[in-house]
Amino acid sequence: MSAVATPSTTEYYDALKSRGSEIEARYRKSTPRSQAAFARAAQVFPGGYTRDAIIRGPHPTFVQDASGAIMRDLDGHALTDFWFNATSLALGHAHPAVVAALQAQIPKGTAYFAPTLNEVALAEVVLGRLPGAERIRFANSGSEAVMMAVRFARAFRAITRRAASTILKFEGSYHGSYDDVSWSVSPKVADAGTLDAPRPVAESAGLAGTEGRVVVLPFNDSATLRRYLDAHHDEIAAVLVEPMANRIGLVLPDASFLAEARALCDRFGIVLVFDEVISFRVGYNGVQGRMGIRPDLTSLGKIIGGGFAVGAVAGRADILDMSSPERNDRVTHAGTFNANPITSIAGRVTMEMLTPEAFEQINDLGDYARRGLAEAARGLPLQVTGAGSLFKVTATSRAVRNYRDAATTDKRWEALCSLALLNEGFVLTPTLSGCISLVTTRTHLDALLSAFKTVLAA
Ligand SMILES: Cc1ncc(COP(=O)(O)O)c(C=O)c1O
C-alpha cells in the first residue's frame, strides 16, 4: 500500500528527499574513518554487517567509546545517543555504579560451570516487578527468551490439547530471530492478504518448514482476535503479543485489546505471552503493570542485563516448572552463558537504580520529547508516537494503530531525516525512533528538538 498521499503530502516528503544526496554527501565527508572501517568490515561480514538492526546508509557510524549519553565516533564527533543500544542501556553508557560492580567481579572470574548468588539476586529483582510471575529462566538474548516462551507454551498446551501447537502473533510485530516467529514482521502489503485476514509472510529466506506453525492477525483488533479464536482455539498454543508494538511505531494498543486477549486465553486455556523485551522499560512493572493485565509468560531482555547480553522468560510456576529436573516430560533449557555473573551483576545494579522515581524521571522526559516533537510536526504529515521513555516520528499522514497504518510510512524520508539529525550530532534509528535513559537531560532533548526543527525547516 502506498502512502495516503494527497499531492501536498507527497510534495512535503519530496522536499527533504530532493536534498538526499546533499545530506548523504555531508555525512560521507564528515565520517571518512567510519567509511574506511565499513570497507574493512565488508571483507569479513556479509554486506559489512553482523547485525541487521544497525544497517544505515551510506554506512554506519563506528563508535570509539561512550560515556553517559554521549558516544564518540571514529572521526571524533561527540554524538548524543537517543537509542542506547536499542533501548537496552537504561542508565546510559558506562554508568559508574555498573562499572564499579564489574571491576570488583571481573578479577574473580566471569563465568563458572556453577550457579552464583548473583543470578538469584537478579531473578528476585525482576520477579518483584512482575506481579503475576513466580518463576524465571535466564537466557542470552530476547530472541532466545521468545523461543523458550514458545517452547514452554507448546509443552504446557500439549498436556491438554495435543494438536494445539500453532503460535498466534500479530502483523508487524518483531519478536527476534527465532524462525517460528519470523513471519509478517514487515511484509509487503501487496503480499499480505486483507487487513482482517492477513497471510503470514516469511520475513527471511530459509524459513521453509516453519510455515503453518504461526498464524498472523491484525494488531489492536479485538473483534478479529475473538472471531479467530472462537473458531480455532483448539489449534493455538500461545498468543504472543508485544504489548507496545515497536516496529509498528512504538504504539500502545487499546487496553481493551490486551484485556480481550487475556479473557480469550483464559476461556480457551491458551498461554498468553507478553513480549516485553523492549516495553519493560515503559514503567516500573512494564506495560503489563501499566495496563493492569497479567500474562502467563513474559519474555524479557535488554534493560535487565544492564548493558550485557541477556534474555529471560518469567511467568506462572505451573508452566515454567515444566523445566524442573524431576519432571519426566520436562522442557529442556540450557545455555553456556545463561545468567553469568557479569550479566547478573550489571542487571541487578541497573534494575535497582530503576526505582519508581527513576521511571518518573525518564517518562516525564518522554512526555516532554513527544510534546516538543508533536509541536514541531503540527500541521505536517508526521505522527509522533511512543510511551514512557520511548518516542518516534513516523512519516505518514495517517494515525498509526496497526501495521497497515505503519506501512504507509515514507521510509526514505525517515531515513534522511535521521541522517540529517546524525549530521547535527544526534543518534536516532533510521526510522526515527528514540529513547531516553537516566542520563538524558532536558538540555539534550532541547538540543534534539531544535535540530529537528532545523531539519524540517531546511
Ligand atoms: C519485542 C522484542 N522481542 C524480541 C527481541 C529480540 O531480542 P534480542 O535482539 O536480544 O534477541 C527484540 C529486539 O529488539 C524485541 O524488540
DSSP 398-424: S--SSHHHHTT--HHHHHHHHHHHHHT
Identify the pLDDT of residue 161: 76
340, 311 in Cβ contact below 8 A? no
Residue 255 backbone dihedrals phi, psi, to 5 degrees: -60, -30
Average pLDDT over residues 32-41: 98
- Amino acid at the residue 397: S
Q: What percent of the chain is helix, strand and coil (3-state, nearest 5)?
A: 45, 15, 40
Strands 311-315 and 135-139: antiparallel
The HSE-up count of residue 11 (CA atoms within 13 Å, CB side) is 3
pLDDT band (50, 70, 90) for residue 183: very high
Our measurement of the distance from residue 22's CA atom to the centroid of its chain's CA atoms, rounded to an integer in Å, reads 31
Say if residue 214's pLDDT is above 80.
yes
* Higher per-residue pLDDT: 163 or 147: 147
User: How high is the pLDDT of residue 160?
Assistant: 84
Q: What is the mean pLDDT of residues 292-301?
A: 98
Whose CA is closest to 90, among 429, 422, 362, 446?
A: 362
Measured CA to CA, the distance from residue 382 to residue 106 in angstroms comes to 47
Cα–Cα distance list, 65 to 69, 132, 182, 308, 440 (Å): 11, 39, 33, 16, 17
d(CA 245, CA 248): 5
Mean pLDDT of 126-142: 97
The pLDDT tens digits of the residues spanning 226-239 come to 999 999 999 999 99
**Average pLDDT, stretch 121-140?**
97
Q: Which atom of ligand 1 is nearest to the CA of 173?
A: 1
**What does the alpha-carbon distance between residue 310 and residue 303 come to, in Å, rounded to a whole number?**
9
% of the chain exceeding 70 in pLDDT: 98
User: In the predicted model, what is the mean pLDDT of residues 57-72?
Assistant: 98
User: What Rg value do the Cα atoms of the chain yield, rounded?
Assistant: 22
Q: What pLDDT, on the 0 to 100 scale, is given for residue 81? A: 99
Q: Averaged over 156-168, what is the pLDDT?
A: 89
Buried b (16+ CB within 10 A) or exposed e, 249-276: bbbbbeeebbebbbebbeebebbbbbbb
Mean pLDDT of all residues belonging to the chain: 96
Maximum C-alpha span of the chain? 66
Using the mean position of ligand 1's atoms as its centre, give its distance from the Cα of residue 89 in Å: 14
pLDDT at 163 over 70: yes
Residue ID of nearest Cα to ligand 1 atom 5:
176
CA 424 to chain centre: 25
pLDDT band of 99, cuts 50, 70, 90 = very high
| DSSP letter (8 states) at residue 54 | G
pLDDT score recorded for residue 5: 52
Best mutation site among 83, 89, 143 for ligand 1, i.e. most ligand atoms within 8 A of its Cβ? 143
Kindly indicate the confidence band of residue 261, based on its pLDDT and cuts at 50, 70 and 90.
very high
Handedness of CA 231, 237, 242, 247 (dihedral sign): negative
DSSP lists the bridge partners of residue 39 as none
Position 196 pLDDT exceeds 60: yes
Q: Which helix (H) or strand (E) holds 81?
A: strand 78-81
pLDDT digits (tens, 9 = 90+) for 336-385: 999 999 999 999 999 999 999 999 999 999 999 999 999 999 999 999 99
- This prediction has a pTM of 0.97
Q: Which three cell numbers stand for residue 56?
A: 544505515
Specify the DSSP class assigned to residue 331: P
State the average pLDDT over residues 425-453. Answer: 98
- Nearest C-alpha to atom 8 of ligand 1 is from which residue? 142
Q: Answer for the pair 366, 388: CB distance below 8 angstroms, yes or no.
A: yes
Predicted confidence at residue 4, as pLDDT, reads 53
- Residues framing ligand 1 (Cβ under 6 A): 86, 141-143, 146, 174-176, 242, 246, 275, 277-278, 301, 311
Q: List the beta bridge partners of residue 66.
A: 71
Of the candidates 242, 280, 255, the one whose C-alpha atom is nearest the C-alpha of residue 390 is: 280
Taking residues 410-438, what's their average pLDDT? 98
- Closest atom of ligand 1 relative to the 86 alpha carbon: 14
pLDDT value, residue 1 = 46
Q: What are phi and psi of 58, to 5 degrees?
A: -75, -25
**Is the pLDDT confidence value at 7 over 90?**
no
Task: Work out whether the CA dihedral 284, 286, 292, 293 comes out positive or negative.
Answer: negative
Q: Which atom of ligand 1 is nearest to the CA of 142?
A: 7
> What's the angle, vertex CA 136, arms to CA 251 and CA 313, rounded to 5?
40
Rounded distance from Cα 98 to ligand 1 centre (Å): 23
